[in-house]
């Protein structure tokens, strides 16, 4: 039934283009899809708006795309582990929108749930975080309105998938991947192992296949390489 979701990298190339909005899973490289990131670099995709937890490290994870000057904007919770991102921001070559980590996750979750935004008091008193944002009074208290986040394509990484797209993650490599899977128009999962339907323990499945459009076989060693 879901065999059509299993694709080659050449087949998913059509979803990537210059100037697109790309959402990615992972935290500091852990849980980010290494082969998809490598292919984006090889395909010379540029002028990207990236949405994800962070900018990785200069030569690890999504950081390779940032360090290569392929992004024009990043929406993330921090960029501190990638000094190249900091330099690009200071030089005016990279726009960075900071969002507190929990708020960022909820904005992505809202996007995947079909909501337009969330309300929060986090950052209400911080001029750097509330600049230009709507303040809403509810039951006598003020809240910031944070817009939901979505993307044209979401790239995620999982340990195992069946051909229907049901995904199993490896411990903390799960990261923000389940949220990203919900919030993109097209979700492409890079996985270490592809199995037939019925092979996965239903209790292990975190992301249901309904959120996954394409599956590609990882050609790397997953997230572990980041620490070797």
Burial (Cβ within 10 Å: 0-12, 13-18, ≥19) of residue 197: middle
79: its two tokens:
């960029």
CA atoms within 13 A on the CB side of 47: 4
Q: Does residue 1 contact residue 164 with C-beta atoms inside 8 Å? A: yes
Counting residues of the chain whose pLDDT is more than 70, the rounded percentage is 96
pLDDT at 222: 46
Q: How far is CA 172 from the centre of its chain?
A: 15
pLDDT at 130: 84
Is residue 83 pLDDT above 90, yes or no?
A: yes
Q: Does residue 71 contact residue 96 with C-beta atoms inside 8 Å? A: no
Determine the Cα–Cα distance for residues 105 and 206; give it in Å rounded to an integer.
16
Is residue 228 pLDDT above 50, yes or no?
A: no
DSSP for 39-90, please give it: HHHHTT--SEEEESSB--BTTBTTHHHHHTT-EEEEEESB-TT-HHHHHHHH
pLDDT at 129: 77
pLDDT at 50: 98
At residue 2 the predicted structure's pLDDT band, cuts being 50, 70 and 90, is: low
**Which domains are present in the chain?**
3-115+150-227 (3.40.1080.10)
Determine the Cα–Cα distance for residues 12 and 115; give it in Å rounded to an integer.
28
pLDDT at 29: 86
Is residue 199 pLDDT above 60, yes or no?
A: yes
Strand partners, 23: 51, 154
Please state the rounded mean pLDDT for residues 86-95: 97
Candidate from 1-5, 13-17, 94-98, 161-165 with smallest mean pLDDT: 1-5
pLDDT in tens, 39-64: 999 999 999 999 999 999 999 999 99
pLDDT in tens, 117-159: 999 999 898 888 788 899 999 999 999 999 999 999 999 999 9
Is residue 221 pLDDT above 80, yes or no?
A: no
Rounded to two decimals, what is the model's pTM? 0.93
Q: Does residue 69 contact residue 43 with C-beta atoms inside 8 Å? A: no
Strand partners, 48: 71
Write the CB contacts of 36 (distance below 8 Å, at least 6 apart in sequence).
9, 155, 188, 190, 216
pLDDT at 15: 98
Q: Does residue 175 contact residue 53 with C-beta atoms inside 8 Å? A: yes
* H-only helix segments in the chain: 9-12, 34-42, 63-67, 83-90, 101-113, 127-130, 177-183
Is residue 189 pLDDT above 80, yes or no?
A: yes
Sheet of 117-120: strand order equals 117-120, 141-147, 135-138
73: its two tokens:
């904007």
Burial (Cβ within 10 Å: 0-12, 13-18, ≥19) of residue 122: middle
């Amino acid at each position: 039934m879901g065999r059509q979701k299993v694709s080659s990298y050449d087949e998913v190339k059509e979803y990537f283009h210059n100037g697109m909005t790309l959402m990615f899973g992972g935290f500091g490289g852990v849980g980010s899809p290494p082969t998809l990131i490598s292919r984006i670099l090889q395909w010379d995709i540029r002028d990207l708006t990236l949405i994800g937890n962070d900018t990785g490290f200069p030569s690890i994870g999504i950081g390779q795309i940032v360090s290569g000057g392929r992004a024009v904007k990043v929406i993330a919770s921090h960029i501190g582990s990638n000094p190249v991102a900091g330099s690009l921001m200071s030089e005016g070559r990279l726009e960075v929108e900071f969002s507190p980590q929990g708020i960022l996750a909820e904005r992505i979750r809202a996007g995947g749930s079909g909501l337009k935004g969330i309300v929060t008091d986090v950052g209400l008193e911080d001029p750097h975080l509330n600049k230009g944002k709507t303040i809403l009074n509810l039951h006598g208290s003020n809240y910031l309105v944070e817009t939901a986040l979505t993307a044209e394509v979401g790239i995620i990484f999982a340990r195992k998938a069946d051909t229907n797209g049901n995904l199993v993650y490896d411990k903390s490599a799960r990261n923000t991947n389940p949220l990203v899977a919900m919030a993109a128009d097209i979700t492409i999962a890079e996985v270490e192992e592809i199995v037939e339907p019925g092979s996965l323990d239903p209790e292990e499945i975190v992301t249901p296949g309904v959120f996954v459009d394409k599956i590609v076989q990882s050609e790397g060693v997953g997230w572990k390489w980041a620490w070797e």
